[in-house]
Structure 1
């Protein structure tokens, strides 16, 4: 943690030293904006508040039997991969939104934010469907060896499936929080929304940890982040980029339906292959890999098909990109060529 601060501190200090110079230039008509300490403080406190979810979860799990925190940790690290990939899109386009807000072009900023939320949701829901459908096979392939037994696989997979229910909320929070801070002025609303979500996580977790253990903690995590995402979406307007809430909800509903159907189909395919691949000649890892492959292919296929039918944003361009890449493959290398 100290090394991370040390790596970023020089840049921050340079920006703070430019405040006085920036203010003098602004008086002369220069459009440059100095970094406001209040803006930095709101961003920092929001990030700290969001990360406090981990502290709450570990505190609640510390009273459970040995292994509970490990199951939660393994499940979170694997399930967060789709969310991390989806938020890369919002990270890349954040300067575009900030520039549009600085230029006063709220229409361009709104279109960009709405598109980012829809595309990020599409990516994370595809990943969440895969995680929920193939959780046992995924954990078995990655970890089931040595002291990590089949019982640990079952427990971790169960936790991961519940935790994945909050991945859409995690992505929405990450995308919308950037929109609040892109306006270049301090906004305390995201911190307040995050604080309410943290309170929900603590309350639901304290109530659910007794009857459901670590699975209840994962459910509390999902509930808390969904509450925060809903509050951030409801508060979009004068405080940030004025997105059209109904349109955003419509863009989210279609991939949710596609992901639900893909999850069921993928779970069936993975379970069917696991049941068929019972030959003694196959190792546990090979059987898990075969079942996982079947589940992933099924999830992607069903999600893509329903995405096209339902008009999910981003599915058609993605398929066209894949088609374009496959067309550039030198087919003659495999013994046949396309006639021209």
Structure 2
């Protein structure tokens, strides 16, 4: 099958630091190539892949430029297009080539073949039109450790909607060290609500965005990853990355959390106070069970096989 993957123009594929969407696109593309498919990846300059990369010619994020560039350069013999852009700019073109669109943010783009990242997202934003495919990772890409160090980890956007203020509250109340890592998109929130807490509590620290070996080190050695998301998280890739490293995740039950942590419901908390109690108890599933869970339910190979099923169905519908 000849498949086109279209990445957003935020970060290269795979990203050097933050960029869960780009990591998922990379994993999917590599699996498809491994399965013998001919894959073409539209992505930012500097991307790398086993697929044939078609680098964008524009600089900066611009959905319109992506759509125009794809129209100008798309091969005539493509079997299916997979659009990962935030607003499904290629899917909305309604090209003659069957096109599926991964909806990776809490939105409904009104496209013909949407693919959401969880049942919750399909129901809430897709109104049950389309299908869903969970993200997946290659566990062998994540370093495993059953020996944990004495710190909690918050890994993600340092903003209100991700609940970083709750992560700090949990660390302070349980007298734990907390490492905060991720991009700052709302500088006003950071200066008003994060900086004062860090200044007042020496066990709280912000280290910026992380990638590569530093990211691996933080994930595999953390006693626990705190995931107090306050938004309807379409998936929350950091949860499966953490468990692949053998690290437990304590989370609030928003968005896809009940689905991703379905195998460990005791890690899901209804309130921040319950999260505090869970951390104080310091009783988590064995690291090996967490990794095996990811291997069984959230592998990149399983993700690719489910996407392939969807590709085949839309191709058949087009015929």
- When the two structures are superposed, what TM-score results if normalisation uses the length of structure 1? 0.27
Per residue, is there more helix in 1 or in 2? 1
Question: Relative contact order (alpha carbons < 8 A, sep ≥ 6): 1 or 2 greater?
Answer: 1
Task: Flag the structure with larger Rg.
Answer: 1
Per residue, is there more strand in 1 or in 2? 2
- When the two structures are superposed, what TM-score results if normalisation uses the length of structure 2? 0.29
